[in-house]
């Protein structure tokens, strides 16, 4: 490997520490609570309309699993189909390779427009372009807010979810985009005036892809604003960076996801702007089309039978919106372009470095409440992958104070007589009790009693009572 994977942000602290800072930001807490509560309710209503939602989820899961099982075949079919229609396919092993390819394709242009894309965020493309003297202009409204605010995204679908209207107006004002007020319409108007100019002047556009159909080589982007479509149709050259797992075999398969994705992400029955293109069409849209197929840790992820289900993800964000941890800490605490429950299982696998302490903290950023699995449109069993990745972290760390304590606990639980002796010993903690509560525990227990009382152990355990009364 050599170079670090830019899927995590350099210098980000481990999750517990980042979360502590975020939790103290009262404005952030309120913004997130309002936004996630609203979108959660809307999603539930949109999903409840479909009597066959569970069957759709199972279909989505099955299609993605089939693709992943035969990924090599489908990718070669896709390459052949794209090439046959006049597109050029490039293969990128990692972020550095992908960035290099894109920079070379941009050529002498100094400014490019971008469609909102997770894959290009994952590889740190904007930073790589800037280093090569190319300015990337984000055209998705929320992504633009993040870019102008010199900020980081905190949500997969709504990268500026942590901002409210007043904050957005201020960001615009400082960037020279004059908004008459902070009403959504006024803010959108200001962004529109700024972006129109860019659409008409830029000759190169860069996008990601939600799906690609292997049968025909068609690439699909879903968005809500129409700004993506401007980028996909106006410039002369289009460069699309797509993760290798984004494939579906046929158009029939695509139909399932065009139902699952909008309802799960924006709670819409149908996606507002669905752009589909196949290679190039003379006289219609970009004259040049390049598809960069990105691995960046995906093949390694695919090798893990439990972990690979994370590659079914269609980036809907439903798991973020229902996650009680995400709702309170926000997305930036995860230190990665992929926050929330899906980030907690995808990021460490893409990083694939057991000694990266920040990535290793992510699988623990969950109470395992299971709300994410319940809403996932492709049925990724996120709690299952979380515990699986925790086991990987534990085995990579080797001997720690925790592993010694866990081994000791297992040794105690391994024998009823030892267990009972430990119970009797632990019962002595009842002398720490005052008025039926323990307010300060020694050792690691102090973390518990920092915010909660602990129960006073009883004089007699249940098993002692049983032996006395029923034995």
For other proteins, the binding residues (CB under 8 A) are: 15-16, 19-20, 23, 324-325, 328-329, 363-371, 373-374, 387, 390-394, 402-403, 406-407, 409-410, 413-416, 419, 423, 426-427, 430, 433, 436-437, 439, 444, 447-448, 450-463, 465-467, 470-471
Instruction: Report in angstroms how near the CB of residue 438 gets to other proteins at its nearest.
Output: 9
Tokens representing 260? 């699952």
Instruction: Report the nearest approach of other proteins to the CB of residue 34 (Å).
Output: 14
Q: Residue 317 and residue 244: Cα distance in Å, rounded?
A: 20
Q: Which two structure tokens, joined as six digits, stand for 128?
A: 């790589």
Tokens of 71: 């990924």
Query: What is the DSSP code (8-state) at residue 457?
Result: P
By beta-carbon proximity to other proteins, the closer residue of 284 and 435 is 435
Q: Nearest approach, Cβ of 455 to other proteins (angstroms)?
A: 5
Buried b (16+ CB within 10 A) or exposed e, 146-165: bbbbebbbbbbbbbbbbbbe
Question: Cβ closer to other proteins: 152 or 390?
Answer: 390
**Separation of alpha carbons 101 and 120, rounded Å:** 12
Smallest distance, Å, CB 116 to other proteins?
28
Nearest residue to 299 via CA among 286, 311, 281, 312 = 311
Q: Which is nearer to other proteins, 220 or 319 (CB)?
A: 319
Q: CB of residue 160 vs other proteins: minimum separation in angstroms?
A: 22
Q: How far apart are CA 438 and CA 436, in angstroms?
A: 7
Q: Which is nearer to other proteins, 80 or 465 (CB)?
A: 465
Count of CB atoms situated within 10 Å of the CB of 30: 11
Nearer to other proteins, 102 or 362 (CB): 362
CB-nearer residue toward other proteins: 241 or 365: 365
Q: Where are the alpha helices (DSSP H) in 70-164?
A: 71-84, 95-106, 118-122, 125-131, 141-148
Which residue lies nearer to other proteins by CB, 224 or 361? Answer: 361
Q: How far is the C-alpha of 374 from the C-alpha of 285, rounded, in Å?
A: 41
Contacts of 325 (CB under 8 A, 6+ apart): 19, 341, 365, 366, 367
CB of 142 to other proteins, least distance (A): 25
Smallest separation, CB 430 to other proteins (Å): 6
């Amino acid at each position: 490997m050599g170079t670090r994977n830019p899927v995590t942000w350099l210098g980000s602290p481990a999750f517990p520490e980042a979360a502590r800072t975020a939790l103290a930001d009262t404005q952030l807490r309120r913004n997130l609570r309002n936004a996630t509560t609203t979108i959660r309710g809307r999603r539930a209503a949109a999903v409840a309309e479909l009597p066959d939602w569970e069957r759709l989820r199972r279909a989505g899961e099955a299609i993605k699993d089939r693709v992943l099982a035969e990924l090599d075949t489908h990718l070669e079919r896709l390459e052949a189909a794209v090439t046959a229609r006049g597109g050029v396919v490039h293969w990128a092993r990692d972020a550095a390779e992908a960035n290099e390819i894109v920079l070379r394709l941009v050529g002498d242009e100094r400014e490019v427009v971008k469609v909102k894309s997770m894959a290009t965020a994952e590889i740190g493309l904007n930073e790589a372009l800037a280093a090569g003297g190319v300015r990337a202009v984000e055209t998705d409204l929320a992504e633009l807010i993040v870019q102008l605010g010199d900020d980081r995204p905190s949500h997969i679908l709504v990268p500026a979810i942590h901002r409210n209207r007043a904050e957005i107006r201020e960001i615009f004002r400082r960037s020279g985009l004059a908004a008459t007020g902070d009403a959504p319409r006024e803010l959108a108007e200001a962004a529109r005036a700024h972006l129109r100019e860019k659409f008409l002047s830029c000759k190169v556009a860069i996008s990601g892809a939600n799906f690609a159909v292997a049968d025909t080589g068609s690439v699909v982007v879903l968005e809500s604003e129409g700004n993506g479509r401007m980028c996909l149709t106006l410039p002369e050259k289009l460069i699309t960076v797509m993760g290798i797992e984004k494939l579906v075999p046929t158009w029939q398969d695509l139909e399932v996801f065009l139902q699952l994705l909008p309802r799960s992400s924006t709670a819409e029955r149908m996606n507002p702007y669905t752009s589909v293109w196949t290679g190039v069409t003379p006289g219609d849209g970009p004259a040049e089309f390049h598809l960069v197929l990105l691995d960046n840790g995906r093949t390694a992820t695919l090798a893990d039978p439990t972990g690979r289900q994370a590659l079914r993800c269609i980036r809907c964000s439903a798991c973020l919106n229902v996650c009680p941890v995400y709702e309170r800490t926000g997305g930036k605490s995860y230190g990665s372009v992929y926050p929330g429950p899906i980030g907690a299982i995808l990021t460490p696998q893409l990083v694939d470095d057991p000694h990266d302490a920040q990535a290793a903290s992510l699988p623990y950023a969950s109470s395992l409440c299971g709300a994410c699995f319940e809403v996932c449109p492709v049925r990724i069993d996120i709690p299952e992958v979380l515990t699986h990745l925790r086991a990987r972290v534990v085995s990579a760390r080797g001997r720690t104070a925790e592993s010694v304590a866990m081994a000791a606990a297992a040794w105690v639980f391994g024998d009823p007589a030892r267990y009972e002796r430990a119970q009797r010993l632990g019962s002595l903690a009842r002398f720490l009790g005052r008025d039926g509560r323990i307010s300060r525990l020694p050792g690691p227990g102090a973390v518990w009693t920092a915010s909660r009382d602990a129960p006073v152990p009883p004089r007699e355990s249940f098993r002692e009572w049983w032996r006395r009364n029923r034995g």
